[in-house]
Structure 1
């Protein structure tokens, strides 16, 4: 279910073509800081970043801030603009980006502290687990724990150990949030939110035994993410995170989820480019084979094509394979579906058509996934009571006259 705030309507009304192009140019500059980027898909407007101003047309700093926040790429802009001329950065935007970075550092530092305590508790309970996303992944991809705000800790465990992991977290003060006690959350979403009140702030854990929502293809072998894990050192402790190939797959899963929910997802697309950019051709082929084995070949291609339309094609094996996925959607539309899905002019494909493509056009797989989605929807209607959706406590920080908020990575 898509969660929208008031920025959607405001951005839709404003159009924001210049601001969307500005954010895209900044992201391209982030990934190629020494290059002048004017090339891109033929049906996208050419962008120039480097010696020339990022945008010749005036931009609204408030709208740029909203677009960057909703896509979780504000810190990318901050770093990219260090390579841009001073007159390319509106003064009020520079101030907002600096404040966003400071809040991200505070939030992620707390998240790392929570992760260390959770790591200790689960190890002592003998639960095999792995951390997903968050500051640990950001450091592996970008050498920086503070690229995107993380308001909670995401953990994956085997379905068979889900209950044991939940009890281990309860032992250190976490309790299941009321909304995630239902059959729909546990069975179909495959996760529960657990919260520990700690004075001025609440610590939240998302405990997963699945990695995709109903309506999109799910990995065939969840336990494989645990078998392939690697470790990173944090404050002297070795903490488990998913493998490089699985990081690329998980980012693509997140893009597919956002695509179905019609949510902005440039932050996940950046993770795809950062992951894929580290692979040589032999490693790229192994990733393609790995995705096929998980039943996620076309989910991976969707993420890769999104990276190409947003950040420019790379001419690699992965880019060549990605061109065929959702070929009926032109590059300009796919670009805006990634970064500005609130636009009323977008011609969204029907979700069942997207599912058909992501299932590799295999009838048996498609029927199984469609049936699972229908069962999930029925369960949600039975067990979930309608509720007003609003920001969680501490999740959003109002800035810039109410134009933009600080939202955590989900």
Structure 2
């Protein structure tokens, strides 16, 4: 199923309310759990190319695939299902490469005794969905302290990474608090997004970014133990990502799914502690609005 360039603009111009509702129904089915009935998933007169575009742009194609997989084979939309399966295979390939890059980054930063934590990516997908390959992840995102930023950059240079031209500016380093580092010396390119702040234009910045380092947890990935954000911080970062996407008028259902999956792992006490922490970080409004978005999209899942 072809996906032409400019598909987002085409969707906005053409109107696709029914196709959006179909994708939403699939997301609600996925989050209802594996024992929920598939219901009516026939596409009737819907445009399969639009559904594919919506799922791809929002990074929820694998969610849709898993939802449709619960239906009997004869009831699945065949062309859409084939496209989704191909998308899934490409995601597996991309994320497998991202995991290998992440482990190389982990090893060099740990050898250099630099405090850091991984953000988002395949590690988060495994923790939220028990699957490293739910959404395509091409870059490795890491957070370090302001004092460790230049040391981390030097350490990454030891394994072939260099600052990309577009992020080698005062705006990126001083205001955004990050730089993109790329490595192009192998069969494929690799990118690390090195952060010491979590500022997103158009949305509040966490007052204490170092707190994400202090609260990190150790998780086992590919036989190794790696640092990752706490359950609460994972949810907060997803909320910030949605705020950034809305400010830029970008599709963001994949981030909203992460919010729903993160929130489902919190008990009542955890929820109150999260709200208290968000208030201290001046992110309470950001948190509450994005939790509401998850309720609307996923039906209170």
TM-score interval for Structure 1 and Structure 2 normalised by the shorter chain: over 0.9
Given the alignment, which residue of 21, 33, 41 partners 1:54?
Answer: 41
With a CA cutoff of 8 Å and minimum separation of 6, indicate the structure with the bigger relative contact order: 1
Partner of residue 11, structure 2: 11
Task: Summarize the alignment of residues 302-341 of structure 1 with structure 2, pairs less than 5 Å apart.
Answer: 302-313=289-300
For 1:214 and 1:265, the matched residues in 2 are separated by 16
Task: Summarize the alignment of residues 74-223 of structure 1 with structure 2, pairs less than 5 Å apart.
Answer: 74-86=61-73, 88-223=75-210
Give 1:169 deviation, angstroms: 0.3
Contact 1:33-1:83 at 8 Å conserved across structures: no
Partner of residue 27, structure 1: 27
Give 1:60 deviation, angstroms: 1.4
**CA RMSD between the two structures:** 1.5
Specify the SS of the correspondent of 1:150: coil
Contact 1:53-1:85 at 8 Å conserved across structures: no
Contact 1:18-1:55 at 8 Å conserved across structures: no
Task: Summarize the alignment of residues 364-383 of structure 1 with structure 2, pairs less than 5 Å apart.
Answer: none
Higher deviation after alignment, 51-60 or 225-234 = 51-60
Higher deviation after alignment, 209-218 or 15-24 = 209-218
For 2:147 and 2:89, the matched residues in 1 are separated by 40
Give 1:261 deviation, angstroms: 0.7
Contact 1:153-1:206 at 8 Å conserved across structures: yes
Q: 1:227-273 deviations in whole A, cap 9, x for unaligned?
A: 00011112322110000000010000101111111111000000000
For 1:51 and 1:142, the matched residues in 2 are separated by 19
Q: 1:298-332 deviations in whole A, cap 9, x for unaligned?
A: 11012101101101135xxxxxxxxxxxxxxxxxx
Normalising by structure 2, we get a TM-score of 0.95
Q: Which runs of 5+ in 2 are unaligned?
A: none
For 1:205 and 1:139, the matched residues in 2 are separated by 20
| Inter-CA distance 203–259: structure 2 relative to 1 (3 Å threshold) | same
For 1:275 and 1:198, the matched residues in 2 are separated by 37
Specify the SS of the correspondent of 1:232: strand
Aligned residues between the structures: 297
Q: Which runs of 5+ in 1 are unaligned?
A: 37-49, 315-410
For 1:203 and 1:56, the matched residues in 2 are separated by 38
* Higher Rg of the two aligned structures: 1
Task: Summarize the alignment of residues 262-341 of structure 1 with structure 2, pairs less than 5 Å apart.
Answer: 262-313=249-300
Specify the SS of the correspondent of 2:83: helix
Partner of residue 228, structure 1: 215
Normalising by structure 1, we get a TM-score of 0.70
For 1:294 and 1:11, the matched residues in 2 are separated by 37
For 1:214 and 1:96, the matched residues in 2 are separated by 35
